[in-house]
Structure 1
Amino acid sequence: MASGTRPLAVVACLFTAVQLLLVVPGSGIGWDEAVYASQVSPYVPAAFFSAPRARGITFLAAPAAALSQDPIALRLWFALLSGGALFGSFRVWLTILRPAVVVTAAGLFASLWITLLYGSQAMPNLWVAYGAVVAVACFLLPPSRRTHTGLAAALALVALMRPSDAFWLALPLAAAALAARTPVRLLPLAAGVGLGALPWVVEAYLRYGGLAARLHRAGEIQGGFSGQFAFGAQLRAMSGRTLCRPCSDVAWGRPELALWWFALPVAVAAGIAVARGRRRPLVLATAAAVSVSVPYLFLIGYAAPRFLLPAYALLALPAAQALVHATRTWPRPAAAALAVALAGHLAVQYAVLHRAADRYRDVRTAYARTAAELQRHGVRPPCTVSGHEAVRVAYALGCSSRQVGGHDGSIDADGLRAMACGRPVVLLMSGGAPPPAFARAWRPHGLSPLPGTRSLHAYLPLACAGPGDRGDPALIRQDGDCKTFGVTPDHGRCIDDQQQRDRDRRAV
């Protein structure tokens, strides 16, 4: 057993235990998670899968998604899986750096609120981070069939999760291979990126009209890939926001929560400076971290803390080198002050994690309540949800989700109205916004508001409608279609309760 293996295993177990205690209990599902999990769930129809997404995380989610629709199943599965992956990825570094540095690096990365929050989520970024840590380590180890295979496999994992991240990760490694005059290293780099990205490329031709078309559409959805500066957005997101889009109207009210972000470059520079004989591995890890950060800091105009998880995992290595060196060489008062600063850092991470985890618990309660309210209005599988937060509401109900227009547009108004002929259909509108023209004749029902909304209304069709209908009662296939929506069948048409009362009064 390599030196440092047991302490590293302890760090991984603690990482998993904190997730199980603080994050997993009562946690609801995120919007992206619902999209990914629905692709492999036997309980929920697959949500619209937009051009930027890759299916790697759906493969990891499949075992838990196959067992249950409950988000807790995903949380438990990924908490255990991420703990094992933390151990496995940093263990490769035990033969490159001193064990104390590797164990400290794993502890630093695992203690971030971002890592703890996403450890139990069906999201790709943490797995990109693990793949990046392994890829850089395998590149640094002496060339052999084993290290080449490990390098290719790690890059394939990254590309399977996020193809663009694999490209940015491979760039500094390819440059290092050329600088060291070891072009043989380019083969596993190319093989790993190519194999991992292959499913995404194949899907581009099958569903999007080609690779160029998919890349163009992905750029549109992400706001375009151009010279932008997202440092400010990332800083605002350090307070615990999982997505900051847009960030221009978000006040930076808690700057102390981002102090560690400013301390990290200092620690990285110090770690490289004191590394001496182990400087090259730390320089390459830092270069790879900078490279994978480029698209999220300079090419898109919004921020999510999870985007930088691969960078944090790699930068934890030189930062750990600085900390280990300081504890061994600094005078006791200075070392004690450093320990106090680290304790404060951990307290900040816990505070942000606690608030973020509470929000996910609120999400679970809110969406379960909304699903129950819609079920009382007759919305049950097979059914379709459209409009505000359709993906997560549909996941809670076991319905499909379809949007008319927008980035996730997968149906038109005529198609949605026609769908009501064979199943319950509901349109959700938030904040008092009026329904679109095609749903103005639909019956509104007030619902309890979801997090972040002032009000929520469900609009249900009074009748099923064929293409071209603009709101008049339409022919139905059977009386049951009317009963599904709580209205009355009348000679092949659906009429609501008020219309029925008017008819009864006239008959008298």
Structure 2
Amino acid sequence: MKGTRAAPAAVAGAFTAAQLALVGTGMGLGWDETVYVSQVSPHAPAAFFSAPRARGVSFLVAPVTSWSSSTELLRIYLALLAGAGLYLALRCWRGLLPVPVLALAGGLFGSLWVTLFYGPQAMPNYWVAVGALVAVGCFLRAQGDRGDRGAAWGLAAGGALMALMRPTDAVWAALPLCAALVCVRRWRQPRLLGALALGLAAGAAEWIVEAYVRYGGLGARLAEGSRIQGGLGWHLAVGDQLRSLGGRTLCRPCTSAMPDVAVTAWWFALPVLALAGLVVAVRAGRASGTLLALACAASAAFPYLFLIGYAAPRFLLPAYALLAIPVADALARVVTVSKGYRRTPAVVLVAAGLAVHLAVQTTVLEHTVHHSSAARRDYARAAADLHRLGVRPPCLLTGHQAIQIAFSAGCASAHTRGHNANTTAGRITREARSMPVAALEPSGDRPPSYARTWRPDRLGRLGVYEGYRAYLAPVRAAESHRS
């Protein structure tokens, strides 16, 4: 019995170990990670923080990045936190489902390549998923025992975690909870509605205050966020999400071929197994909890499947976390309901399916880690090349991929166009009079007008770009010859 109770903890520990073993600690920071980390790191000036972002990730990593620039230490810290978060989220479901089902749900969610890949990264989506699991589990516990104050506080904490990481995602994930508290008579509890509202408001408070300070209001910030994301509206992004399952961390634009059917099969099996889990729950007399989990999963996934014109697999992590509950329930039922001569084939079938699933997920993860690590090494090498060219702190980089390279080099970054526009050409040329400034462009692309007389230097390959060039401001270009 004790071994069974410890199963979720064992799953969480295995999840942490798998992150460290399969993703590793040597992968450099990605674009979004750089933005979040730079807000609290003394290593380089903070990168431009656009309207859709929230500062929850920056708060999460601050205990490490505020005093250390070690990416390895950051990865270990986040992997440990991710494992602890998964364990606490599963604990919130204790008493609602059998412990083996919870352990299987944690294993299913934690074994997805996208979960393993983003667990040790400074990104918000995994933590929205943890918050969603906590919120739904605590909601159901509080409904089952109206005297359980801890569950009410857990509901507030889950809402706060989601809103702290991504306020808009928190609203979508919490909509079914709010609807249930208002529309379902036997679930109407003003204290739970207050707890959820308090949690969401507490988590989003900084984001809302910043909206009025920097953007002129909440509506203005939401409108700016929509513009940056390509204009939120009716977009059928289901195909884009399918294309991203092959290991594309960002599919924008998403014009590549569909991955092999072996890579996407689990995605089509997911809703079928989730509905099977609902049938199991109906027969077990706990349909309402499963229905709520399914509703929250569907609500969390809806904007990323139908309202945004591009895809990233991490966007659906909250939905995957919630769907893992009924899927695990269905698979466990297949094994336990089979008796006699049917039991062995059922166990073999489920075990074989899970083994194939794990093999596919591990293969995609390995490919994604290799590709991402290689690209991020290129950025670190480019930063070293810029140092050799005389571009050292205090310095400023602009142009393509400037944010990642600037952080590696200890420089500030600035852009005159695009989603990260935060300066003007005149301001950049003025900065060039007092510090090293370089404009970065792929070979074949023309530099910006203010940099066309600047000296070009080859930086080599950067990710998918060959022949990358840095255009050095002329004053500093002359100084670099003397250094």
Contact map agreement 2:396 2:436 (CA 8 A) in 1:
yes
CA distance in 2, matches of 1:482, 1:129: 48
1:153-172 deviations in Å (ceiling 9; x for gaps): 11011001000111112210
What is the CA-CA distance between 1:212 and the residue it aligns to? 1.4
CA distance in 1, matches of 2:10, 2:479: 55
CA distance in 2, matches of 1:335, 1:274: 17
Counterpart position of 1:164: 168
What one-letter code is carried by the residue in structure 2 that aligns with 1:339?
A
Contact map agreement 1:44 1:69 (CA 8 A) in 2:
no
Counterpart position of 1:308: 316
Counterpart position of 2:268: 262
Match of 1:146 among 150, 159, 173: 150
- Describe how 1:213-232 pairs up with structure 2 within 5 A: 213-232=220-239
Partner of 2:6, secondary structure, is: helix
Partner of 1:194, secondary structure, is: helix
CA distance in 2, matches of 1:71, 1:203: 29
Partner of 2:32, secondary structure, is: helix
What one-letter code is carried by the residue in structure 2 that aligns with 1:213?
A
Matched, 1:194 2:206: no
Out of 59-68 and 97-106, give the one that drifted further.
59-68
CA distance in 1, matches of 2:15, 2:194: 35
Taking every aligned residue pair, what percent have the same amino acid on both sides? 50
Counterpart position of 2:452: 440
1:406/1:74 Cα in 2 relative to 1: closer, same or farther (>3 Å)? Answer: same
What is the CA-CA distance between 1:4 and the residue it aligns to? 4.3
What is the CA-CA distance between 1:100 and the residue it aligns to? 1.1
CA distance in 2, matches of 1:336, 1:4: 21
- Describe how 1:72-151 pairs up with structure 2 within 5 A: 72-141=72-141, 142-143=145-146, 144-151=148-155
What is the CA-CA distance between 1:2 and the residue it aligns to? 8.1
Matched, 1:454 2:466: yes
Out of 124-133 and 90-99, give the one that drifted further.
90-99
CA distance in 2, matches of 1:226, 1:153: 31
CA distance in 1, matches of 2:5, 2:206: 35
Contact map agreement 1:54 1:161 (CA 8 A) in 2:
yes
CA distance in 2, matches of 1:389, 1:117: 22
CA distance in 2, matches of 1:280, 1:4: 25
Counterpart position of 1:67: 67
Partner of 2:57, secondary structure, is: helix
How many residue pairs end up in the alignment?
470
What is the CA-CA distance between 1:265 and the residue it aligns to? 0.6
CA distance in 1, matches of 2:65, 2:128: 21
Contact map agreement 1:460 1:485 (CA 8 A) in 2:
no
Matched, 1:384 2:396: yes
Contact map agreement 2:250 2:312 (CA 8 A) in 1:
yes
Counterpart position of 2:408: 396
Contact map agreement 1:97 1:278 (CA 8 A) in 2:
no
What one-letter code is carried by the residue in structure 1 that aligns with 2:277?
G
CA distance in 1, matches of 2:22, 2:396: 34
Partner of 1:386, secondary structure, is: strand
1:365-419 deviations in Å (ceiling 9; x for gaps): 2122111111110011111111111011011111111111211111101100110
Contact map agreement 2:280 2:333 (CA 8 A) in 1:
yes
Larger radius of gyration: 1
CA distance in 2, matches of 1:431, 1:441: 16
1:442/1:236 Cα in 2 relative to 1: closer, same or farther (>3 Å)? Answer: same
CA distance in 2, matches of 1:283, 1:361: 40
What is the CA-CA distance between 1:434 and the residue it aligns to? 1.1
Out of 167-176 and 110-119, give the one that drifted further.
167-176
1:152-204 deviations in Å (ceiling 9; x for gaps): 11101100100011111221001111233214122112111111111111001
Counterpart position of 2:360: 348
Contact map agreement 1:229 1:297 (CA 8 A) in 2:
yes
CA distance in 1, matches of 2:477, 2:273: 66
Counterpart position of 1:283: 291
Match of 1:299 among 301, 307, 310: 307
Out of 119-128 and 23-32, give the one that drifted further.
23-32
1:473-492 deviations in Å (ceiling 9; x for gaps): xxxxxxxx67544379xxxx
Contact map agreement 1:270 1:322 (CA 8 A) in 2:
yes
Which runs of no fewer than 5 residues in structure 1 stay unpaired? 464-480, 489-508
Contact map agreement 2:398 2:414 (CA 8 A) in 1:
yes
CA distance in 2, matches of 1:76, 1:410: 33
Scaled by the length of structure 1, the TM-score of the pair is 0.90
- Describe how 1:461-500 pairs up with structure 2 within 5 A: 461-463=473-475, 484-486=479-481
Matched, 1:373 2:382: no
What one-letter code is carried by the residue in structure 2 that aligns with 1:48?
F
1:346-381 deviations in Å (ceiling 9; x for gaps): 000000011111123213321221111111100111
Contact map agreement 1:238 1:305 (CA 8 A) in 2:
yes
CA distance in 2, matches of 1:5, 1:64: 32
Counterpart position of 2:253: 246
Contact map agreement 2:245 2:259 (CA 8 A) in 1:
no
CA distance in 1, matches of 2:408, 2:196: 41
CA distance in 1, matches of 2:105, 2:357: 15
Contact map agreement 2:458 2:470 (CA 8 A) in 1:
yes
Partner of 2:422, secondary structure, is: strand
Which runs of no fewer than 5 residues in structure 2 stay unpaired? none
Counterpart position of 1:430: 442
What one-letter code is carried by the residue in structure 1 that aligns with 2:358?
L
Partner of 1:302, secondary structure, is: coil
What is the CA-CA distance between 1:291 and the residue it aligns to? 0.5
CA distance in 2, matches of 1:346, 1:410: 44
- After TM superposition, where is structure 1 displaced by more than 6 Å over at least 4 residues in a row? none
